[in-house]
Chains A and B, each alone.
Chain A
Amino acid sequence: MSKRLFVGIDAGSSATKCVVLDEAARLVGKHVTASGFDFVEAAEAVLSRSLFEAESVREDVARCVSTGYGRSRVSLADRQVTEITCHARGAREWYPQVRSVIDIGGQDTKVIHVHTDGRMADYRMNSKCAAGTGTFLESIALKLGVPLREIDDLAMKCATDTVINSYCTVFAGTEVIERVKAGQPREDICMGLFRSIAARVLEMLASRSGPIAVTGGVVAHCRAMVRAIEETLETKVLLPPLPQHAGAYGAALLALGDCMGSTWGGQVAGRSGA
Chain B
Amino acid sequence: MQTKTATVQRVEIKTQARLRTLLKDYYTGLDSAAADPARKVAWCTSVGPCEILTAFGFDLFFPENHGAMLGAKKLGHQYVPRAVGVGYSAETCSYMNSDIGAALAGYSPLREAYGIAGPPKPDLLVYSTNQCREVQDWWYFFGRRHDVPVMGLNPPVHLGEVTEDHMAFVRGRLVALIQQIETRFDLRLNWDRLREVVALSSRASSLWREVLETARSRPAPLTFFDGLIHMAPVIVMRGSQHAVDYYQELLSEMQERVRKGVAAVPGERFRVYWEGMPIWPKLRELSEKFLGLRTLIAASTYCNSWAFDEYDGGDPLTWMARTATAIFINRDEYTKEAFLLDMFRSFGVDGAIFHNARTCPNNTNSRFGMAQRLREGHDLPVLVIDGDLCDVRFFSTAQTMTNIEAFIEQLEERKR
Contact = CB atoms under 8 A, between A and B. Distances in A.
Nearest to A254: B1
Nearest to A265: B416
B278 interface: no
A119 B372 contact: no
A264 B416 contact: yes
Contact of B413 (A78, A79, A120, A206): A120
Interface in A116-138: 119-123, 125, 127-128
B395 A78 contact: no
Given A79-B2, A81-B1, A120 B410 contact: yes
A203 B410 CA distance: 21
A125 B399 contact: yes
B409 A82 contact: yes
Q: Is the interface of B mostly helix, strand, loop or mixed?
A: helix
B4 interface: yes
Interface string B1-41: 11110000000000000000000000000000000000000
17 contacts: A69-B398, A72-B2, A77-B4, A78-B3, A78-B4, A79-B3, A81-B409, A85-B1, A85-B409, A119-B414, A120-B413, A121-B410, A123-B410, A125-B403, A128-B386, A128-B395, A128-B396
Interface residues of A, number: 23
Ordered nearest first, which 4 A-B pairs have the shortest CB separation? Answer: A84-B406, A82-B406, A119-B413, A81-B1
A10 interface: no
A240 B413 CA distance: 24
B242 interface: no
A122 B382 CA distance: 9
B2 A80 contact: yes
A128 B1 contact: no
Nearest to A70: B398
B361 to A, nearest CB: 15
Contacts of A80: 1-3, 405
B149 to A, nearest CB: 41
A82 B416 contact: no
Contacts of B403: 125
Contacts of A85: 1, 406, 409
B367 to A, nearest CB: 12
B76 interface: no
A79 B292 CA distance: 13
Nearest to A85: B409
B375 interface: yes
Interface string B376-411: 000001000010000000111011001101100110
A33 interface: no
Contacts of A77: 4
B242 to A, nearest CB: 41
Given A69-B398, A264-B416, A123 B406 contact: yes
Given A119-B414, A120-B410, A122-B381, A82 B402 contact: yes
Interface string B87-115: 00000000000000000000000000000
A81 B405 CA distance: 8
B345 to A, nearest CB: 21
A152 interface: no
A79 B4 contact: yes
A261 to B, nearest CB: 13
B374 to A, nearest CB: 12
A120 B2 contact: no
A122 B1 contact: no
Interface of B: 1-4, 372, 375, 381, 386, 394-396, 398-399, 402-403, 405-406, 409-410, 413-414, 416
B409 A69 contact: no
A107 interface: yes
Contacts of B406: 82, 84-85, 123, 125
Contacts of A84: 402, 406, 409
A264 B407 CA distance: 17
A121 B379 CA distance: 10
A242 to B, nearest CB: 22
Given A85-B409, A122-B381, A206 B372 contact: yes
Nearest to A81: B1
A93 interface: no
Nearest to B396: A128
A128 B405 CA distance: 16
Contact of A107 (B381, B399, B409): B399
A123 B385 CA distance: 12
Contacts of A121: 410
A85 B409 CA distance: 7
A127 B409 contact: no
A188 interface: no
B413 A83 contact: no
Contacts of A79: 1-4
Given A69-B398, A80-B2, A128-B396, A122 B409 contact: no
A78 B4 CA distance: 6
Interface in A85-117: 85, 107-108
Which of A77, A82, A108 has the largest number of chain B CB atoms within 10 A? A82
B235 to A, nearest CB: 30
Contacts of B394: 128
A80 B404 CA distance: 13
Contacts of B405: 80, 82
Given A79-B4, A85-B406, A122-B381, 17 more contacts: A69-B398, A72-B2, A80-B1, A80-B405, A82-B402, A82-B409, A84-B402, A107-B398, A108-B399, A119-B416, A120-B410, A121-B410, A125-B399, A125-B403, A128-B395, A206-B372, A264-B413
A128 B1 CA distance: 22
Contacts of B395: 128
A108 B409 CA distance: 19
Nearest to A80: B2
